[in-house]
Amino acid sequence: MERKNLWAPWRLEYVQGLDQGGGCFICENRERPEDDEKNLVLWRTALSLVILNRFPYNNGHLLIAPARHIAGLEEASEEELAELIKLVRESQEALVRAIKPHGFNVGMNFGRCAGAGLPGHLHVHVVPRWSGDTNFMSVCSDTAVISQGLAELLGKLRQVSEEHNLPGL
């Protein structure tokens, strides 16, 4: 079978960053609230951040993380754990109102071998799903097709958040 290429030059930033071992982008976002728009931060609370994944698996892919730089659940306080789950719930509500997914994958990866792109900072993935969103692109070529720009989605999620008082912690 002949190999086909799908060009995705915007992924180069991500791929090159894997070997650089740079800082923690979640902590960098925590320290610069004035850059929330540029850094795709949807919500911030005293304990947590909700950020659009810059390299999403699917449209609307969010990352929910404690503000503190901790690697695992065993390091999280009871308050941080409770807030993470509340933010998962409220993220799902905002996504349903904004882009109407049919379902969600919610998960965590611990350690690089488990798929963690940022193994040093605990975070939860909230990935919207639609019936039929797994197709030949994802199955045959390990490629996701993202149908909406991140800035447009961030604006829509912020609008829904204001209209429905989310997050309601």
**Which residues participate in catalysis according to the annotation?**
123
- List, in order, residues 6 or more apart from 40 with CB less than 8 Å away: 51, 52, 54, 150, 154
* Cα distance between residue 169 and residue 160, in whole Å: 16
Sign of CA dihedral 20, 31, 123, 13: negative
* Cα distance between residue 126 and residue 105, in whole Å: 6
Q: Read off the tokens for 126.
A: 């909230």
